Structure 1
Amino acid sequence: MQYEGVLTKMQTEAGSPIQYYLVFENSFLNVNQLLGKDLEINFMGFQCLNCGKKKKIYRQGFCYDCFYSSAAAGDWIMRPELSTAHLGIADRDLEYETRVQVQPHIVYLAASSDMKVGVTRKTQVPTRWIDQGASWATPLVEVPNRYLAGITEVALKDHFSDKINWKKMLLNEVNEIDLIARRNEVRSLLPAEVAPYFESTQEKLYTLDYPVLQYPQKLGSSLNLSKTPIFNGKLMGVKGQYLLFEDGTVFNVRSYEGFVVQINV
């Protein structure tokens, strides 16, 4: 069968295992059903996720112009401590920024390789952890806006990483960490204005189960569609936003948002 469309990050459905979907304008694939099968991925062109024009993708699925003009690509996306909508101050579009920033956010601890700290909107639990390939995760505090989550993350980054070792994550080399114990230890490191939210945040450990037939013994190349516009391989698993192939090749779907592809199964 043949599918064609613009790549966006895979949609997911929590379960055991997690269900993954590649969604195009007129069709979709349940990626779990492709495990153990040969896939061909053909790069066809570009389409900006914001303006829809067939312009080269610059970052995050946006063309150059949209990346520097769209409210969905503001600096506060990657650096939540820069959020200002709760003060009524706009970055690029106050209406959009208020809608996204002024809602419950979770600061969390997760284990994808080693322990990391991160921020997500409450509505993105557990999607955010799935996208990062976390094996376990636990909410630390739930706060009413993105700014408070951001300053908490900044305070904790002095003690814990906010990065993922993606190679260890894909090899399933995840350190056994008692996240609940670490959660209680972290309590004393919270900023004063955030500390009261610790007691009201439910203590809960999430365990995530990925659809993987076999993890690679070692990683091969990371598929670059610009350099390898036609790729064939047997799909052996999905973790985070990566497709894992039998020969050790990995493909980060999210890195190629805005790329138009044809997939043959």
Structure 2
Amino acid sequence: MSGNIRKMKSELGDVVQYHLPMGDELVDMNALIEKKIKLSFDGQINSIYSGELIKKSYSQGYSYKEMITLAQCDSCIVKPEKCHYHRGTCREPEWGEKHCMIPHYVYLAVSSHVKVGITRHTQIPTRWIDQGASYALPILQVPDRKTSGEIEVEIAKSFSDKTNWRKMLMNEVADEDLEMIRDQIYDDFADLIDDFGLDDLEEEVTHINYPVVEYPTKVKSLGFDKNPVIEGTLMGIKGQYLILDTGCVNMRKHGGYFLNLEY
């Protein structure tokens, strides 16, 4: 089987179900766990936006031109507190209205340790699965992306907004009481929350189980630019990583790469 890939699609269940978009097909990746697989890259990359042939991928699958012109590749996607839609300078106002000027959640998640993050309301629980969170809890609902980013920046002064991806892949996950931490945030940031006119949330913690039969004790990162042929026994999937007995591959990083899959 072969084709250009995109980030894996996921569905929350007793165990997360993963499918890899490959060309026009969706490959059931859970069915390949504990099987030997071989992924080969011959150098072809196509933009995940336009489909055009590109020499190098930017922002996980775009051409350089797209990276510097599309709203979805703007720096405010990584740092939403820098959203400039209100100034009338959004690269694509219609895209901004559809993706940024809609309700967002501020949440707590544990992939290795407690971190604060934000996501569109339509991306729960996909966002948590993509980052390999073992459990997560929404704590605030806000009207737009910029507001969520401004609040995240303040809370991140007390709680990290980064994931230790190596610990996440080794399943070194802290045992935290997210509801207690949420209540602590409500107390510590009461003035900030009041200034934005937000209400407390009483959501339940979502627990996420990944299809992994064995976690690595040491993480070896593999990528197709340096390793055009990656093969080994698929031991599991977590976040957007394939965990092989030979190393771990971030599939999202390789969006648009034309791969051949053998199993």
| Matched residue SS, 2:58 | strand
Q: Distance in 1 between matches of 2:195 and 2:254?
A: 36
- 2:206 equivalent to 1:206: yes
State the secondary structure of the residue aligned to 2:76: helix
User: CA-to-partner distance for each residue in 1:187-235, whole Å, 9 max, x for gaps?
Assistant: 1325245664232x2321010010001111222x211201111121100
Paired residue type of 2:164: N
Q: What residue identity is the alignment partner of 1:162?
A: D
Task: Say whether 1:92 aligns with 2:91.
Answer: yes
The corresponding residue for 1:27 is 25
Match of 1:229?
A: 228
**C-alpha distance in 2, partners of 1:46/1:70?**
19
Structure 1 residue 77, shift from structure 2 partner: 0.8
Q: In the alignment, is the contact (CA less than 8 A) between 2:110 and 2:135 conserved in 1?
A: yes
1: distance between equivalents of 2:204 and 2:139? 9
Tell me the equivalent position of 1:197: 198
1:57 is paired with a residue whose SS is coil
| Cα distance between partner residues in 1 of 2:233 and 2:193 | 51
CA contact (8 A) 1:48 1:54 kept: yes
Structure 1 unmatched runs, 5+: none
Question: Any runs of at least 4 consecutive aligned residues in structure 1 with deviations exceeding 3 A, and if so which?
Answer: 192-196
- The secondary structure found in structure 1 opposite 2:53 is coil
Counterpart-to-counterpart distance in 2, 1:159 and 1:234: 40
Contact 2:5 2:23 survives alignment (8 Å): no
| C-alpha distance in structure 2 between counterparts of 1:18 and 1:126, whole Å | 11
Asked whether the 8 Å contact 1:74–1:91 carries over to 2, the reply is no
**Bigger shift: 120-129 or 252-261?**
252-261
CA positional deviation for 1:58: 2.5
Query: RMSD of the alignment, in Å?
Result: 1.4
Residue 50 of structure 1 deviates from its aligned partner by: 1.8
Length, aligned pairs only: 259
2:70 alignment counterpart: 70
The answer to whether the 8 Å contact 2:59/2:73 transfers is no
Tell me, yes or no, if the aligned pair for 1:242 and 1:253 is still in contact at 8 Å.
Answer: yes
TM superposition score normalised by structure 1:
0.94
Q: Secondary structure at the match of 1:168?
A: helix
Ranges in structure 2 where 5+ consecutive residues have no aligned partner: none
Residues 74-223 of structure 1 aligned to structure 2 (within 5 Å): 74-85=74-85, 87=86, 89-187=88-186, 188-189=188-189, 191-192=192-193, 196-199=197-200, 201-219=201-219, 221-223=220-222
Distance (Å, rounded) in 2 between the aligned partners of 1:157 and 1:195: 17
Q: Report the CA distance shift for 1:203/1:229 in structure 2 as closer, same or farther (over 3 A).
A: same
